[in-house]
Structures are given as structure tokens and as C-alpha cells.
A and B are shown apart, each in its own frame.
Chain A
Amino acid sequence: MFHSRVSLFRINCIALCLFLIFNIMGCSQVKQLLFPPPDQPQTPQITPEKSPEIHTDGSISEIKNFIYARDLGRQIVISSAFQAFLDQIESKNFSERMILARVDQLGAGEALSPMTSWDLALEEGLIDGLISKQVKLAEKLDDIHIRAISEFRESLPEESFYLHPILPSDHSTIRQKYDASYIILYQLIECDRSTLNPSAVIYLKLIDLRTNMIEASILVQAGSNIQELDTDALNRYEEVRQAILSKPLPADILSGLNQMAVINSELLTIHGVYKSNLSNKSRMAIENGLITALLNMKQNPYIVEKYRGFELKFPTVHKNILFNTNPLIYEEWGEFIEKSGCKQLLMYRHVKNDGIYLRVIDAQNNGAILFSDVFPFGKRDASADLDLHNLIVREFSEFFPYYLLKNKSIVLVNGDQQAVDPAKYHNDRTRFNHMRIALEEGLTTSLVKNSPEFNYTIVEKLKTIYLKQPWMYKGKIFNLNPLYLENWSQLRSLGYDTILLYNNLIPYETLTPGSVDNKQAGITIRLIDLETGEITYSTKLSTIGGDL
């Protein structure tokens, strides 16, 4: 009897000790104490700071900071702004589990900053909020990796901007091991980590791992000190989003989009590489705003999360090929479809403080350009870039005989004055600026807008079509077509019926930025029927002089 009482006392003591330990250290720490985790992968290292500790002296500032950050995360989720994101989720009526992953600027090849307890608290708050919204989340173990930075920055050929940051091979792990079909990627754009005024701007993107589609996209800001944060990225996001939403894509275009990738084209067709002076954060925000707006236009997901198949042409290749050829490296659109899993391609060119140019390409239809236009921002500087585009569209639409293009596939060819001095043209090519792009974009927009009426197609140039080298002009008659071709059938084999050969007369790259001359246009145009080799039309477009 005595022994039984002693044993009972011992059991009670052990239970009491365990109770105290659990209360003091928390379950997770006990678990780690009892079951130390296996070694962590080497790359990349996310080094969380120590969890806030309870100090017996009564100092609870760090605990407060943690708690408030956690509350901030919860606020984000339960905010009205986030409700739109949830609405997109709820609209799918799915019940699959999700993985929440913080990625920040990983998609641009930028390593994560060291995480703190504040970051942990924020994510806990997000989790809390999501669970309260009946979202099923899977606890992450140790087998979801982020991609190596070298895949973004040092690859040859270079990858296009902003790729999916999670190792694609781990998608199947997530689906199988975690039984999760979705992953929520979130970027902490800006934040105030103070205890008194915790604030944050977060971008979230939901991706269906089964289809690799972006299901939802939203930027949420929470906290009382938002106004004090750096709002550049936020503004880029908003101006793009609003510009696009203010001028939705045509419904007939939208209806045909089902697997579309979005890539930033910048001035790749001139430089071959990205040369933006914006931060990665802002550049990503531009694309995020674009995606958010695009998703808002259509009920069903149609934008592909890009993670592979977006390799760019080598920069030096652009020197020798037709100007403004698509920067993707592929020879055929079928190859693009195969490699990327996309059927349409939206290329955007952000013009700082002015607007954004969009071009939608149907990869399944040999690169037919479905849409081309600019979207000016609400507050804009009215730069020459968009103005030139609009000028070309306006003027060109007034007089151009689009009926000549009926049932044709048209490719734009920049000829300039190669016949006069081909070496100079080749040298100048690397110094071309955005105005050259804007000019051809204006021509494209004008032609695409009128294409439904006259049933023709403007084709995006993808395959490398070489220009004549300077020595190829020697000993031959004057004013040869600049393309290195033996016969027109070679070009027809690529699916082209007509060349629109334009010669730009204004060397924009030599003008002073801001000069009004940048808004002038002076081009001559020839239409060449590739079936006969005949010049079917010739005209000029000039704001400088002449009878226009």
C-alpha cells in the first residue's frame, strides 16, 4: 500500500514536471529537444533569429513585438482587401491543402534576407488568419527547396525576369508528401517592425501546383504606419494594375487565353539583357500588378507561373538579325510551347511614370499577335515613348490601306538606310533606344487593331532571320532588301506572306532626352508580296514635313 502510494506520488511528480516544461518551453521546443531535426540543406540558408524568450525579470518587449507582428499577419488576412484574394480561392470551392511560402525577391534571383522572430510572427499571423478562414495549411518539413540563385542570374543563355522560386522538382513532393495542391507565395514588400506601429505590404500569389496556373494575386497592406513606408513598389504595382483595369483587354482576346505566360521584354531586343534602373522589388511589383489586373479580367485562371522555358537569345545575336525579333531563344513557337507549357505569351514593356505596353502573342498560331497597345498610367509624365506610339497608331490608321493585307501574314522589317551604309546600321543597332521600340510597337498596334476587320495577321518574329552583312552588298546594285535571303520562298516557309518594310528616318538615339523631336515621326513604308516579290504599296508617314 505504501509502495503504491509512493509510486503514485512519483508519477504525479513526473507529470507535473512535464507539464511545467511544456508550459515553459513550448511544444515545438520540447519536440526538438526530444527529437532533434536532421541536418538542414545547405542552400539557401534562412537563419531565423532566436524565438522570443520569456524573461523572468518581467521584460516582455520582445514578446510584445512578436505578438503584435503576429496580429499584423492576422490582420492582413482578415482585411477587406485580402477578402478579394480569398474570394478567388473560395470561388474554386476547393478543399485541398496549401503550403505557405515566403519568397520575397527570390524570383528575381535575390537571396532572402535573414529572417527574424518578427518574420516568424508575421507568418504565424498569416497562418492564424488563413486557418480562421477555413483554409487548410500543411506544416512544412525540410524537403521544399528554393532554386539556386545561379539559375536566375548566371545561366547561359540568360533566363527571362521573375521566375518561380521554388525548386520545380519539389512540386511533386509538395503534392505527394503534403497532399497539398496549392502553394501560396508571399513577398514582404515593405514593413515597419516596430512594436508600436507594425505595418507591412505583402504580395501574395496562389499557384495551383497541378496546372502551374496562377489562381490568385493580390497586394495587401496593413498597419498604421503604411504612409511612412517606401511606397515605390506599391505605387508601381498600383499604377500598373489600375492602368490595365481601366482599359481591359478585349473580351474576344481574353476568351482565347488559357495558358499565358507574362514576361518583361524591356529593351531586350536591343541590348539582349535587362538594364532597368528600378529595383527588383519594384520590377516585380510591376509584374505583380499586371498579373493581378489580368486575373481580375477573367474568371478562369489562364496565367502560367513561369519557372522554365523562358531562355533569352544571346545578346550578340540581336546584332545580326532582324530588328525587334522576340527575345526568346527559340526557333519555333512549338518549341516554346513544349518548353514552357504555355500557349500564349504576354510581353510587357514598362515605361517609367508613363505607362505600360502589352503585346499578346498566340504561340499556337505561329506567333500571331493577338493584341498590342499601351496603357498609360493615371499620373504620367507623358513621355515621348507612349506619345510616339499613339502618334503612329493615330496617323497610320488614318491613311493606311489595310485591305491590301487581307488574308496575309505580315512581318515587320526595319530597313532604315542599310542600303546606303550597312556597316553604320550594324554599328548603330546596339545604340538604338526605346523610341525605336515604341515606333515599331505603334505600327504593330495599328496593324493589330485593324486585323479583325481585314482578316490578316501580324506575326511576332521569333526565328533568327539574318540581315545582309556589309560585304554582301559589294558588287551588287543599289538598294537591296536588307534581309539575307536567296529567294522569297525561304521567308514564306516561315509562314509569312507579306513584308512591311519601314525605314525610320529619325535617329532617336542621337536626340536629347526630353526633346520634342522625340515625338516626331518620319518613316517610309513598303509592302512586299512574298509570293511575287512585288512591291505592292509604298507610302510615308511624317510629322516633320511633306504633304501628310
Chain B
Amino acid sequence: MIKRLLSVLLIFSVTLVLGEKSFSTQDPPMVYIYQFVSYDTTLFFLNDAPNKRERIAVNATSDYLTTSSSDILIVNSIDVRTITSIVTSAVARFSALKIAGESIQRRISSENILEMLKSSNYPVETDFIIIGEINILRGNSNSEPHYEIDLKILDVSRQEIINSSMIALSKPQINDLRNLVDQLVEDVVGNLISPFVSNIFLATDSTSTGKILWDTCVLRPVDDFVGSKKIQTDNKDYELVQQEPVPDPRISPALRAELARVNFNFGYDEIRLVKSVFDRYRPDTFLQGKYLLSIQVINNGVVEQFMREINLVALRPGIIQIHLEIPPPPVVVPVSGNLKISNLPIDVVMELLKASPTGQHQIDRVISTAKELDGHCENPDIKTEYNIKNRTVQYEGLYEGTYVLSTYGQSKVFFPGKQSVDLYSYTDTIKIDSAQTQHHKTLFGKNELGGREVVIYFNPFPNKESDTYKLFIQDSNSPIANVKNAGELHVFGVPTDFNGTFRVFKDEKHFTTLNIPRGGKKIYLNADLENETLSEVKPSDGNNEPEPFYGFFKRE
């Protein structure tokens, strides 16, 4: 015998709404939760007539009743507000859903909730309606009376019940009521919103390794729907999110395809799934729409904010790439100094070289003639000034280091077929090791040269216009003269105590060594470059050991 103590009358209103075709953060699904109904406050079940129902009036609000008959089982009804509240809480754990404030207001009629919670423009904006009723059923003689909670979800736009579920529990199970409701709502509502949500993943590359402060990751939708209108969120609306590493084997095919689609240019090192830190159903799902993610990163010790917006599309993994631009090397203000070179003689070449572990590289090459100082400094960081009037060269902004100043004569044609070069050779080193220091070097004048003249005849006369004969002193690698279209070279200023060699090169196979003995008189030498030289160029032998050439003028 079924004793029906209470019946719940389902009342629902039909509201026609022309809403968006799809739900998003700009138009989230709006749920109106009707307060559950129960028409019987207390049910009596006769032990011997389980199917017989008799209705008696009891105070529905009292927790228990006492009767004179042992045959009568008195079952207290469940407060419908409690059930509604439980259901509301369960639905509220879906962040993708909006619960119409009006439904809460009606349940808590004593307070004006809508003064604080903006009107959801019920019933216009309502997409779903949840209605429920609570019944108490007597079961058979061997069973306890139990409660049945029916839950129905109505799709307003489609004007139909899209889901109907129930929970049955006995009085001893009443303590499990919330869990059962939660499970029911999760299943039902979860299925309801699944077509409109997706996951957000964070993909990081090597640029961010060790630089992301993961516990500072926050997320907010860019847009939201409040009351009856769309609004822009702001930083107050951030929600802390956590990230769950997704090992590579667990990356789903859909996610892998999406990673490939977005063509993560830098190659990902790690994938993390974004999850809400709040106690929500399916915390790793987010309603499609635009979201703004913010996270703190550390670059070279400085905490900076990394922000990225994502347009999340339902059922498609959303990927936020975290690629940190490699910060440029720290800008170290280099030590630089200035160098002034004075008294550049006429017809010399002055080279400024910077010494490095791999050798020397040229900073500038100045050809000094009577008419001009022709410099060739191509480093834009170095400011140069060539002053022909004062015959000075000024360098500003020479970086820290050791510089070599090398100056030598420039060969010139003084008669067709005849060239001359002043054996003006001066080397010096300059160390720039403190900022904005001014170095000053004054070159020797040619009139301090003295020395004698050495005339070198070339055999053969250069056979082609492009043929260049190079003259070196001792084992020096810098030619003191490059001779073209000339049968002879006059070298002036050879020190009278110089006892060494000149080397003349036509090419790799044609070269010769000329011995220069000590002496003060002009001498004539013949450089025979016609025959191929098979042996290495050796310094002169004999009693006079050649002297190494370091330049005739040299300062340490």
C-alpha cells in the first residue's frame, strides 16, 4: 500500500526566449531554479497496510511526532528550501552557468537579494529552468518509507524537458542527501553545458624554464554577462587557477593536433592544464569565450607580468603559449677612452689596430698626404676627427683594450717607373682601461729620421698593370711598400746602423731577400724576381746577425 503523504505539484512557467545560438562568456547559460515543492508536511504509513494512505494534518515544521499506535510510522518531510538550496549550490558549482538571481530571491523572500545581485531579467534571459518535487513513498511491508526527489530541467527555447532524474533515499540515508544531489546535478548539468566548454592549456618552452611563478596564475573572462547585459571584466574578476602538468604520453590527440595547428614556433617543453582552484564541478572546463591569463615570471631577477588573451572555442583545446623573449644581454656600459694622435707626417700610413686573443684587427687606416688625412674607420661607435690643418687624428669612444699604433711610410710615384718610400716606421701600444681617459701620442717627425737611401731595382719590371711587388723589412708581415708599375723603389731613412734584410715578394713563388749591411752611404740593390725561388727566404748569414725589426721608432 502506498501511502502518499505529500505530493509535489510541479509548476513551471513557460517563457519564450530568443537567445544566442551558442553559449559563451558573453552569453552564458542562465538557469532559473524553482524552489522545490512538497505538499505534505508529514506522512503516516501503516505497518500492516503499507499501501493505505491516510492523510492527517500535522505540523510540517516539527521534527518528529508521537502517536498512540505502534502501527503508525510517522515520517517527517524534508524541507523544500533545503533541497532547493542544495540543488542551487550544486548548480552553482558549475562556473559556466548563471543562476538567475530571481530564483534565489523567491526562495529567500525575506531579503531583497536583487538589490545586490543584479536582475537576470527573468524570465527573458532564462535558458533553463530547474524544477523539483519531493515525495515520500511507503514501500512494501519489509521496506522503509523513503523520499524521492525528482529533478527536471526544462530548455526554455525548446520548450521541453530535456532531462529528468530522481533520487530515492530512505530516512537513514538522509545524511547522504547532499552527496546524492551533487552527483545528480553534476551529471545532469554537466551534460547540459558540455557542448559549450573546453580546456585551457599552457604550453611553455625553454625560454620560460624556471622563470614562471605558477602559483600566481590567474584567469578571467574578458567579457561577462551581468543582469541583462554584457560587461567587460577587470582585474578584480581574476580567479586563481592552478595548473596540472600533462605528461607527454597523456596529451590527447586533439590537443596534439591543436598544438600542431597553432604551430608553436619554439617547441614546447611542458604542457599544463588550467584548473580552477575553487571547488567546482569540472574545474578544468571553461565556457567558450575570451579569457585573459596573467602570470608572474622572473626574468633576470626582476618579476614581470606575463599576460596573454585566449579565445576559447568550445570542444577545442585552448592553448596559451608562454614564450618569454630572451632578454638581451645586460647592457654593460663599456669602458671607453679617447686617443689623439698628433704630428702625422706627410706620406705615411697610420694604422690603429685593436689587439685581441685571435690577433689584431684594424680600427682605422689613415693615409696622410700633404693635402688630406684620408681615414677609413668604419666603426660607427667610434667618433673620428681628422684635422689636416693640425695634422691630428682624434678618436672618441675606443672601447677598453690594447691598441697598436703602427705608422709607416707610404710609397709614392716620384717619376714614372720610380717609386719612393720613407722608411718611417713607428709603433706604439695604448691601453684603454679606464673610462673617458684621454691618451695623446705625438709622432716623430720625418726630419728626425736621418738614415740613408736604399735603391732597389726590380727584375722584371711588373709585367701587368695589376702586378704588385711588396717590400717587407726583416720578418715583418706588414709591407712597407706596395709597388706597381715601377722598375725601382727608393727607400729613404734606412738607419745607418740597420743590419738586416729586406724581403721583396712578387708572389708566393717569386721573392728574394736583400741584405742591408750597416753603413751610411746610399746603396743599390737588385731584386731578381724573374726566377722562381725554391728555398725559404732566409736571413742573411755571415758574421753580421740580422736584427729583428720592431720598427725604427718604438715606444713601450
Interface, chain A (partner B; CB < 8 A): 156-157, 311, 314, 316-317, 319-321, 329, 331, 335, 464-466, 469, 471-472, 484-486, 490
A-B contact pairs, 27 of them (CB 8 A): A156-B525, A157-B526, A311-B524, A314-B459, A314-B524, A316-B459, A316-B528, A316-B530, A317-B457, A317-B487, A317-B488, A317-B526, A319-B460, A320-B417, A320-B460, A320-B461, A464-B457, A464-B488, A466-B417, A466-B487, A469-B463, A472-B465, A484-B416, A484-B417, A485-B416, A486-B416, A490-B415
Please tell me if B455 contacts chain A, counting CB pairs below 8 Å: yes
In the complex, the answer to whether A464 meets B487 with C-beta atoms within 8 Å is yes
A311 to B418, CA, bound (A): 20
In the complex, the answer to whether A320 meets B524 with C-beta atoms within 8 Å is no
Within 8 A of A (CB), among B372-429: 415-418
In the complex, the answer to whether A471 meets B465 with C-beta atoms within 8 Å is yes
In the complex, the answer to whether A464 meets B417 with C-beta atoms within 8 Å is yes
In the complex, the answer to whether B457 meets A316 with C-beta atoms within 8 Å is yes
In the complex, the answer to whether B462 meets A314 with C-beta atoms within 8 Å is no
Within 8 A of A (CB), among B243-265: none
B451-474: contact bitstring with A at CB < 8 Å (1 yes, 0 no)? 000010101111111000000000
In the complex, the answer to whether A466 meets B459 with C-beta atoms within 8 Å is no
Please give, as numbers and ranges, the residues of chain B lying within 8 Å of A490 by CB-CB distance. 415-416
A43 CB → nearest B CB, Å: 17
A485 to B418, CA, bound (A): 11
Q: Select A316's contact among B416, B418, B464, B526, beta carbons within 8 Å.
A: B526
Residue of A nearest to B526 (CB): A314
Residue of B nearest to A484 (CB): B416
Please tell me if B522 contacts chain A, counting CB pairs below 8 Å: yes
In the complex, the answer to whether A331 meets B455 with C-beta atoms within 8 Å is yes
B contact residues, range: 20 to 34
A466 to B455, CA, bound (A): 15
Please give, as numbers and ranges, the residues of chain A lying within 8 Å of B526 by CB-CB distance. 156-157, 314, 316-317
A508 to B526, CA, bound (A): 30
In the complex, the answer to whether B524 meets A321 with C-beta atoms within 8 Å is no
B52 CB → nearest A CB, Å: 133
A485 to B417, CA, bound (A): 8
B111 CB → nearest A CB, Å: 108
A363 to B543, CA, bound (A): 38
Residue of A nearest to B525 (CB): A156
A494 CB → nearest B CB, Å: 9
With contacts A464-B418, A484-B416, A486-B416 taken as known, whether A469 is within 8 angstroms of B524 at the C-beta atoms is no
A466 to B462, CA, bound (A): 12
Q: A316-B526, A466-B461 are in contact. List 6 more A-B contacts (CB 8 A).
A: A320-B487, A464-B417, A464-B418, A466-B417, A471-B463, A471-B464
A317 to B525, CA, bound (A): 11
Please give, as numbers and ranges, the residues of chain A lying within 8 Å of B461 by CB-CB distance. 319-320, 466, 469
Please give, as numbers and ranges, the residues of chain B lying within 8 Å of A471 by CB-CB distance. 463-465
A165 CB → nearest B CB, Å: 22
Please give, as numbers and ranges, the residues of chain A lying within 8 Å of B418 by CB-CB distance. 464, 466
A465 to B415, CA, bound (A): 9
In the A-B complex, list the 3 residue pairs whose CB atoms are closest, starting with the nearest: A466-B417, A316-B459, A314-B526
A5 to B171, CA, bound (A): 186
Q: Which of A311, A316, A465, A490 gathers the greatest number of chain B CB atoms within 10 Å?
A: A316
Q: Which of A156, A317, A321, A485 gathers the greatest number of chain B CB atoms within 10 Å?
A: A317
A307 CB → nearest B CB, Å: 15
A500 to B455, CA, bound (A): 29
B225 CB → nearest A CB, Å: 87
A490 CB → nearest B CB, Å: 6
With contacts A316-B528, A320-B487, A464-B418 taken as known, whether A469 is within 8 angstroms of B462 at the C-beta atoms is yes
A484 to B487, CA, bound (A): 11
A223 CB → nearest B CB, Å: 47
